[in-house]
């Protein structure tokens, strides 16, 4: 396998210079080809997502395929403008110069995607890589093998391996790929593996984009419309059985709204994801990806309960079907694993509070999350939270939806990631911003050349201008 990988990498190394010269029209044609090939394999994609995660066709359509079609269409519509050089302002030493920013392809990019949204999270960065004019090698997750196989089939059908190639395999394959001197690495996954990727990239001074995760908090204050908040949080927490990097991880609920929130959350979650017997409705509720992650989640619940947490609703599970019904916890010890680790499952700890300052302090004591959500009708409180906290993105009176707007950057900060994706921000991620100065024949810079005798007045003038 190493021999094949190196061979493909060498082919792309030779081809990347030709791709650098491709026009917007040529890249748009490739995006059209990608879209039409995906459409050809739609049935197989839906079947694969059902196999890997028990995703319904509707959920797969909304969160995976339609999401990708929208991204492709947005890139096609805007690519010519993205590729155009940007104008930049002048400086004192270049008053007669023209300044531009050119967007150049990085070269050969490695894209490593996770298993939770296995189609979307591979195709989204690939769209940006193609739009920016790069070669790419793709490594989909081995934990969603059915979807990975369809992705590989689509790539082989649409592209030559010297442009886009896909390799399926486990962590040994990822390790072999990370030893190569890529021009950029785009990784989506856990913080722990993100550190491994960044360390490997450092050996070649390769730039990286890390889309990680973290414990994304929710705040429901005393002014919030609780029924609306509970419904949105239940959807955001339980879609894909909670296996979403920006899912609400835990929720601060003002003490005066606690019982109301629990009641409405139970009602909304039951209506959306459970059947009349209170068990998982398999036509709308996904499964946990595998037994390893199932066992991790049930262990989190047991650890929390052993340390004083109370299950106020739910907790049933079926091992053979990798299904955990929605769980609401209260009074979880802040030092328990469930309050320290990203949950990535259908378990929602609730923390009652009375003072917003306490909530802000508790959020800031943790690593910066990928998302932060707040439900409130108080503009001062909203301003206070946004000013006093840091997160990759944020939504006020909603959850998750910021990821669906290609006009917004999507990415983390520190422990939740680095760099952005989607739309123009994804195009920039896979591009080098090259500063270019077109100087006139008049040498204004000569004023600062040696010899420096009798040029003290120039220094004083520059100090005033600066």
CATH number at residue 350: 3.40.309.10
Residue owning tokens 């979807």: 147
> Are residues 27 and 158 located together in one domain of the fold?
yes
* pLDDT at site 464: 78
| Mean pLDDT computed over 275-290 | 92
CA angle 310, 316, 320 (to 5 degrees): 140
Q: Write out pLDDT tens, residues 75-134.
A: 999 999 999 999 999 876 677 889 999 999 999 999 999 999 999 999 999 999 999 999
CATH number at residue 79: 3.40.605.10
Q: Coil, strand, or helix at residue 418?
A: strand
* pLDDT at site 466: 66
Q: Where are the alpha helices (DSSP H) in 258-392?
A: 258-273, 291-306, 356-364, 379-388
Local confidence band at 200 (pLDDT 50, 70, 90 cut-offs) = very high
Active site residue 166: no
> Are residues 166 and 267 located together in one domain of the fold?
no
Q: At what angle are helices 24-40 and 42-53 packed, to 10 degrees?
A: 60
| Mean pLDDT computed over 424-439 | 96
In a domain, 454, yes or no: no
- Per the document, the length of the chain is 466
Domain of residue 389, residue span: 217-404
Active site residue 245: yes
| Mean pLDDT computed over 137-143 | 98
> Are residues 398 and 320 located together in one domain of the fold?
yes
| Mean pLDDT computed over 2-17 | 94
> Are residues 9 and 142 located together in one domain of the fold?
yes
| Mean pLDDT computed over 175-198 | 96
Q: Would the pLDDT of 444 be above 80? A: no
Q: Which residues on adjacent β-strands are paired with residue 211?
A: 188, 417
In a domain, 444, yes or no: no
> Are residues 54 and 132 located together in one domain of the fold?
yes
Q: Write out pLDDT tens, residues 224-237.
A: 999 999 999 999 99
Q: Would the pLDDT of 159 be above 80? A: yes
> Are residues 430 and 349 located together in one domain of the fold?
no
Domain end call among 353, 383, 404: 404
- Predicted structure pTM score: 0.94
> Are residues 45 and 164 located together in one domain of the fold?
yes
> Are residues 187 and 266 located together in one domain of the fold?
no
Q: Which of 64, 162, 163, 211 is catalytic?
A: 211
In a domain, 312, yes or no: yes
> Are residues 196 and 256 located together in one domain of the fold?
no
Local confidence band at 66 (pLDDT 50, 70, 90 cut-offs) = very high
| Mean pLDDT computed over 278-294 | 94
Instruction: State the average pLDDT for the chain.
Output: 95
In a domain, 439, yes or no: no
Cα distances (angstroms) measured from residue 37 to each of 8, 41, 238: 22, 7, 31
Q: Which two tokens stand for residue 32?
A: 């059209």
> Are residues 360 and 429 located together in one domain of the fold?
no
In a domain, 451, yes or no: no
Q: Which of 109, 245, 395, 421 is catalytic?
A: 245
In a domain, 69, yes or no: yes
In a domain, 453, yes or no: no
Domain end call among 404, 423, 454: 404
Tell me whether the omega of the peptide bond preceding residue 451 falls within 30 degrees of 0, making it cis: yes
* pLDDT at site 456: 85
> Are residues 43 and 180 located together in one domain of the fold?
yes
Please count the structural domains in the chain: 2
* pLDDT at site 434: 96
| Mean pLDDT computed over 321-325 | 95
In a domain, 135, yes or no: yes
Domain end call among 384, 404, 424: 404
Residues 401-422: b if buried by 16+ CB within 10 A, e if exposed: ebbeebeebbbbbebbbbbbbb
> Are residues 70 and 178 located together in one domain of the fold?
yes
Q: Which two tokens stand for residue 53?
A: 């995660």
Residue 216: CB atoms within 10 A of its CB come to 29
The closest of 77, 89, 86 to 104, measured between CA atoms, is 86
* pLDDT at site 180: 97
Local confidence band at 239 (pLDDT 50, 70, 90 cut-offs) = very high
Q: Would the pLDDT of 18 be above 70? A: yes
| Mean pLDDT computed over 304-331 | 94
């Amino acid at each position: 396998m190493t021999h094949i990988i190196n061979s493909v990498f060498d082919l792309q190394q030779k081809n990347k210079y030709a791709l650098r010269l491709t026009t917007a029209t040529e890249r748009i044609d490739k995006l059209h080809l990608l879209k039409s090939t995906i459409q050809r394999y739609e049935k197989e994609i839906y079947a694969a997502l059902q196999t890997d995660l028990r995703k319904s066709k509707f959920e797969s359509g909304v969160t995976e395929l339609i999401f990708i079609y929208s991204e492709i269409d947005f890139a096609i519509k805007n690519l010519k403008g993205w590729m155009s050089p940007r104008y930049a302002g002048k400086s004192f030493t270049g008053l007669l110069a023209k300044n531009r920013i050119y967007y150049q392809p990085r070269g050969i990019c490695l894209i490593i995607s996770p298993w939770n949204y296995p189609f979307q999270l591979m195709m989204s960065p690939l769209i940006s890589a193609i739009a920016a004019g790069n070669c790419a090698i793709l490594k989909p997750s081995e934990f969603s093998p059915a979807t990975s196989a369809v992705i590989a089939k689509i790539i082989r059908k649409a592209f030559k391996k010297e442009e886009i190639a896909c390799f399926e395999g486990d962590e040994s394959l990822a390790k072999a790929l990370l030893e190569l001197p890529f021009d950029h690495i785009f990784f989506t996954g856990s913080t722990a593996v993100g550190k491994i990727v960044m360390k490997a990239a450092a050996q070649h001074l390769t730039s990286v984009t890390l889309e990680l995760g973290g414990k994304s908090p929710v705040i429901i204050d005393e002014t919030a419309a609780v029924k609306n908040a509970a419904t949105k949080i239940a959807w955001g927490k339980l879609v894909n059985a909670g296996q979403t990097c920006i899912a609400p991880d835990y929720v601060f609920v003002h003490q005066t709204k606690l019982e109301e929130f629990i009641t409405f959350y139970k009602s909304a979650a039951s209506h959306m994801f459970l059947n009349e017997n209170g068990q998982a409705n398999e036509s709308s509720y996904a499964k946990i990806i595998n037994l390893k992650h199932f066992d991790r989640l049930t262990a989190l619940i047991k650890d929390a309960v052993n340390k004083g947490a109370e299950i106020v609703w739910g907790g049933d599970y079926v091992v053979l079907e990798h299904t955990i019904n929605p769980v609401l916890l209260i009074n979880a010890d802040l030092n328990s694993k469930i309050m320290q680790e990203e949950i990535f499952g259908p378990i929602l700890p609730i923390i009652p509070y009375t003072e917003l300052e306490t909530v802000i302090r508790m959020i800031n004591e943790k690593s910066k999350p990928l998302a932060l959500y707040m439900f409130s009708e108080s503009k001062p409180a909203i301003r206070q939270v946004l000013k006093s906290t840091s997160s990759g993105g944020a939504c006020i009176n909603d959850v998750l939806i910021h990821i669906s707007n290609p006009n917004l950057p999507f990415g983390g900060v520190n422990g939740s990631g680095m760099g952005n994706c989607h739309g123009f921000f994804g195009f920039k991620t896979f591009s080098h911003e090259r500063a270019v100065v077109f100087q006139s024949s008049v040498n204004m810079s000569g004023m600062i050349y040696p010899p420096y005798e009798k040029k003290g007045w120039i220094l004083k003038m520059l100090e005033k201008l600066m």
